[in-house]
Amino acid sequence: MDVLTERAHELAAAGMLPAFVYDLGALDVHVAAVREALGEVELYYAVKANPDPQLLRVLARHVDGWEVASGGELAHVRGLFPDMPLALGGPGKTDAELTAPVHRLHVESPGELERLLASGARADVLLRVNLEVPIEGASLAMGGGATPFGMDPGGVAECAAMLRGQERVRLRGVHAHLASGLHAPQLLELAQAVLEYARELGVAEINLGGGMAVSYDDPGELFDWVAYGEGLAKLRRRGERLRIEPGRSLTVYCGRYATRVIDVKRVHGRLFAIVAGGTHHLRTPATKGHDQPVVPGAAGEPVTIAGQLCTPKDLLAREVPITLRRGDVVEFAMAGAYAWNISHHDFLMHPHPAFSYVRGGRAGSC
């Protein structure tokens, strides 16, 4: 039994499930290894993946800064780490967001830049480019074609022209977050395209975004940070400053969603276990259309695990080959990112989960 399972059973005995249980020690070990593999590449954490302060405090020991995507995230992170660099991005920034003092502002359109220049505020900007490059195998594509994110090279050229002849808003470089769910070789190909583009534009600071792949089918299949770090070191030319801003791949592994079985039943031949909570706590399987990985238990007839919501979409995992009885504890792995914080908490007005933190340590222990 690992530390997270132990904690889940303690919480069960105390009547405190469902709960999110985080292994801060494992997060520490994991992010330290990522940092090590990156060499000179700067590492920011994309806070939207999971803004839990306890996780952020562990991350703060290893990251160079934070990528925030709203005024809310900005205030949250600044309150916790007043002196750490922040990069603010995201489409649809309000005037208050555009003019907030940050280390880097990621400009998403000529219209945004026009408002920024008109405000008279000072800023150091990266222009977010959406390059027309083939993106294969991505789970989400933010670039490579017509999307609301960033600008095509025409838009970037327009911005570069607007920035000439003034000094308040300084062009520092380019930002590209083109897709998510990519493996190291594919991300390196994109990085090469972005770097070539930045060199043509004449800028030397390049934020290559996040989107490193994780596998919900096989939680043990980790992104190859060593290959990625080595690849970036090869691509980088002297004087160039590279930065990445992953979210999911840093925090997804350190969290589990633990709950208990309320009912087991067979309907038209199919076996169901209904658990406390559901996708209003852990929306990830519903949004991504996957089965949330279940921490293995005693083998048994495949059972579909559903939550308490009155919608057929409230499925956490289908046909899981384990034995579940009323009262059993079930743990869903890979619930440390885009889980609680993307879920529709108040649908049906069930109670919110508990949050619990342990200090394990082995990177793979979640």
Query: Which parts of this chain interact with ligand PLP (CB under 6 A)?
Result: 46, 48-49, 67, 89, 177, 180, 209-212, 245-249
Distances (CA, A) of 35 to 32, 185, 246: 5, 19, 12
- Closer residue to ligand PLP in complex, CB, 288/313: 288
**CB of residue 250 vs ligand PLP: minimum separation in angstroms?**
8
- In the block, which residue shows the tokens 């199919």? 270
Nearer to ligand PLP, 73 or 245 (CB): 245
Of the candidates 227, 253, 249, which has an alpha carbon nearest to the alpha carbon of residue 39? 227
For ligand PLP, the closer CB: 26 or 187? 187
- Calculate ∠ Cα 225-220-302, nearest 5°: 155
Listed in order, strand segments (DSSP E) in 152-254 are 169-175, 179-180, 205-207, 241-244
* Structure-token match 């990156």, residue found: 38
The single residue of 159, 254, 310, 366 carrying the catalytic annotation is 310
Task: Using DSSP bridges, classify how beta strands 255-267 and 270-275 pair: parallel, antiparallel or unpaired.
Answer: antiparallel
Residue whose CB is less far from ligand PLP, 51 or 209: 209
Rg (CA), the chain: 22
Least distance to ligand PLP from the beta carbon of 74, Å? Answer: 14
CB of 210 to ligand PLP, least distance (A): 3
Q: Is 254 a catalytic residue?
A: no
Nearer to ligand PLP, 67 or 314 (CB): 67
**Cβ atoms of 285 and 361 closer than 8 Å:** no
Minimum distance from CB of 229 to ligand PLP (Å)?
16
User: Based on CB atoms, which residue is closest to ligand PLP, 89 or 278?
Assistant: 89
Residue among 81, 110, 115, 80 at smallest CA distance from 99: 115
Please count the residues of the chain. 366
Phi, psi of 249 (to 5 degrees): -65, -15
Question: How many whole angstroms separate alpha carbon 192 and alpha carbon 182?
Answer: 14
- Least distance to ligand PLP from the beta carbon of 157, Å? 21
| Angstrom distance (rounded) from CA 23 to CA 253 | 9
CB 186, CB 140: distance < 8 Å:
no
Spatial CA neighbour of 144 closest among 193, 183, 178, 195: 178
Q: Give the shortest CB-49-to-ligand PLP separation in angstroms.
A: 4
Q: Which residue numbers are catalytic?
A: 310
